Amino acid sequence: MPHYFNYELMKQLNGDKQMKDVWKLPAIAPWEKSCAKHPTQKPLSVLTRLILASTKPDAWILDPFTGSSTTGIAANLANRRFLGIDQETAFLEISKKRKLEIENPTTAALYKEKISGFNDKAEYSLFLNSEPDPEINVALGFYRSKELPDIENKNKFYFHAIEKNNIVQDFPIGILDAKILFIYSGGRSKASHFTGYYANIKNVVLKHKSKIKGKENSETEFYYEVELESNFMKNKNLKVELNPKSLLEDGGNKNIELFKQFLPASTTFKKVLAANFLTYI
């Protein structure tokens, strides 16, 4: 699994200079000991920084020597999942109390305000807000490998709409809510794979061919025009074979059928992360 390091955030936290490997953060504060103190309990600020530097949202974090679970509290406050192990039940009791404490949204919000190591009070929550929500819908769009060299100049993408008896079929999926478009290639005789190209979606509109320049003579009447926030960008780590079953599981399997026909299919950012461990974008 490629390792992950959020260089930009670390730089931002260090006055816009590369983060050094010696960190100065305040000692553990009294509010961090509200559920009794573990003898070698670490400050939340330290674990928060480690977690933000090295994981993506929704990641699983394991601390096999968890003590009072500072790692777990920092993980859960930053929308990561956590598993902790300790040989002392007394320490696991402190861990459980700490976890119960942050199940209260007001306490969680208060603790987030108090974690040090940021330039100002709002920086941590602003950063969490800018991380992609793992549950957001993302769209998967097909592009022929041989046409890929052109894609970087484009800031629009078209999906054919399905028509039956002159009625445009609603896609059974979250294409209209999708926030990121990932481009894949392959298909038919070859396995499908991510090409590395992606873009954030600004808007998705259903359009008739006559309204789309260059599509006047197309045999398909309706298109979804996906307006992108910028041109396509390339993430070289996105070179993974797509397994429609794990990525597109959707009860009725309609998504998988669409995917097989190169029609727009959508999934969640969480599934893409899980399937690919892609470098966070």
Ligand X SMILES: C[S@@+](CC[C@H](N)C(=O)[O-])C[C@H]1O[C@@H](n2cnc3c(N)ncnc32)[C@H](O)[C@@H]1O
Least distance in angstroms from the C-beta of 48 to ligand X: 12
Phi-psi region of 69 (alpha: psi -120 to 50; beta: other; left: phi over 0): left
φ, ψ of residue 156 in degrees (nearest 5): -135, 155
- Record the tokens describing residue 130, joined without a space: 């800018």
Q: Which is nearer to ligand X, 48 or 70 (CB)?
A: 70
- Of 62, 88, 110, 113, the one binding ligand X by CB under 6 A: 88
Q: Which residues contact 74 (CB under 8 A, 6 or more apart)?
A: 44, 47, 48, 50, 51, 115
Residues 123 and 208: their CA atoms lie apart, in Å, by 44
Q: Which is nearer to ligand X, 67 or 264 (CB)?
A: 67
Instruction: Work out whether 89 is an interface residue with ligand X (CB under 6 A).
Output: no
Instruction: Work out whether 85 is an interface residue with ligand X (CB under 6 A).
Output: yes
How many residues at the interface with ligand X, by CB under 6 A? Answer: 13
Least distance in angstroms from the C-beta of 42 to ligand X: 4
- Of 38, 49, 80, 98, the one binding ligand X by CB under 6 A: 38
Answer yes or no: are the C-beta atoms of 194 and 142 closer than 8 Å. Answer: no
Closest residue to ligand X in the complex (CB): 67
Q: Which residues contact 16 (CB under 8 A, 6 or more apart)?
A: none
Please give the distance of CA 267 from its chain centroid, rounded to a whole number. 12
Piece in contact with ligand X (CB under 6 A), picked from 80-88, 116-124, 212-220, 261-269: 80-88
Answer yes or no: are the C-beta atoms of 82 and 75 closer than 8 Å. Answer: yes
Q: Which is nearer to ligand X, 45 or 255 (CB)?
A: 45
Q: Which residues contact 259 (CB under 8 A, 6 or more apart)?
A: 140, 192, 244, 248, 265
Instruction: Work out whether 41 is an interface residue with ligand X (CB under 6 A).
Output: yes
Interaction mask 45-74, ligand X, x per CB under 6 A: --------------------x-xx-x----
List residues near ligand X by CB under 6 A: 38, 40-42, 65, 67-68, 70, 85-88, 91
